[in-house]
Amino acid sequence: MSHKPTRPLKPATLAAQANGLIDDGTGGVVPAIHPATTFVRDDTYAPAVGGNVYSRSHAPNARMAEDVLAQLEGAEEALVFPSGMAAVAAVFRTLPAGASVLLQSQIYWGTTAWIRDFCTRRDITLIEVEASDSAAFAQACADHSPSLAWIETPSNPWLRVVDIAACAQAVHDRGGLLVADMTTATPVLARALSFGADIVMHSATKALNGHSDVLAGALCCKDAGAAIWQAIRLDRDTAGAVLGPFEAWLLLRGMRTLPLRVERMSSNAQKLAEYLSDHPRVEAVLYPGLPDHPTHALACTQMQGGFGPLLSFVVKGGAEAALGAVARLQLFHPATSLGGVESLVEHRHTIEPHTGIPEGLLRLSVGIEDAGDLIADLAQALGQ
């Protein structure tokens, strides 16, 4: 059961109300978990309820999460997957051997590593370019006419902001499609489809869920009738890269507080970035909310309501000083991931030592704690 509003709603209302979802069987304001894997047919052997046949293709909890996410993104349709990388793979498996792909350089290392390997195995030409340089991106599109271009904004862990509209125009002019990884921004801060992207990808493990207890991914599309979207849907349904009902239920629950959490995390991250930018033990702060960030002006026009929970900073003294600071932190957990309610810290050079990451760089995923407490923790860890 659902009670759909008659007027457009703001993201905070849409999310909190789960797009009007009410439990069918009880009238409960929290939708139920539906673990069934198969569904009955009527006397004519037609699916008895809502076209449901088998949960690989017809999963009620997944559809609930997809409907809410599509509304938040302004998308025609959304699909959820068992991880962010499963969503990445679903896009790339639509490409024929011999295609050309343009990939933003220095983005999340897991995405880059998988795409490099996949393109090598499938004889796909891969061109890597710094997409925050719109002129370089446009020239790469003109030179290579990619079938697909992949960007991530803000990028992880460099926090570079990409001009989505400029990239979309450049790749569309050559007949290709643009996919944008918006994991860091979330639809609360930036909706890439409105800037011309064809598909948006999220590691829903991160801020969409927000509680570090679900592994999930998602894709959202501008045109549900597009050939690539139909191929993605078919691949998911037949290959079985589907999200389980409990995980989908948790994802939906997490999205109900997404705008509130993102607002608090972004506000906290801004305060921490400002504090760190004036710290004598800090060499550089990478955060698009700072006026001296090279893509600050673009971020102000493309992101609304904040600049996200992710920031990086470089500690003077290299790896030894950075790791020493991590060891002294009391509130920031040394762990991988981002977008959760708890603050995390990661020494990226340890994770990806051969990618040009400075040895002193620490990546923070800023949570919803009190900003003063987080600043005090950084202060005692860094010293004066």
Give the residue numbers annotated as catalytic, written as ranges: 56, 108, 181, 206
Extract the tokens encoding 291.
């006026």
Identity at 288, one-letter amino acid code: P
Q: Which residue has the tokens 């939708």?
A: 31
Using CA atoms, how far residue 107 sits from 115, 155, 319, 364, in Å, is: 12, 5, 21, 16
SS3 326: helix
Contacts of 274 (CB under 8 A, 6+ apart): 290
Using CA atoms, how far residue 101 sits from 170, 217, 233, 312, in Å, is: 13, 21, 21, 28
Contacts of 185 (CB under 8 A, 6+ apart): 153, 154, 303, 308
Q: Which residue has the tokens 């109300």?
A: 17
Q: Which residue has the tokens 């600050």?
A: 296
The Cα diameter of the chain in Å comes to 77
Using CA atoms, how far residue 383 sits from 82, 187, 318, 319, 330, in Å, is: 42, 37, 15, 16, 14
Strand stretches in the chain, DSSP E = 77-81, 100-104, 125-129, 148-152, 177-181, 199-202, 217-221, 282-286, 310-315, 333-334, 344-347, 361-365
Exposed, middle or buried: residue 56 (CB in 10 Å: 0-12, 13-18, 19+)? middle
Produce one character per residue of 94-123: b if its CB has 16 or more CB atoms within 10 Å, e if not: bbeeebbbbbbbbbbbbbbeebeebbeebe
Please name which of 85, 136, 132, 140 lies closest in space to residue 108, comparing C-alpha atoms.
Answer: 85
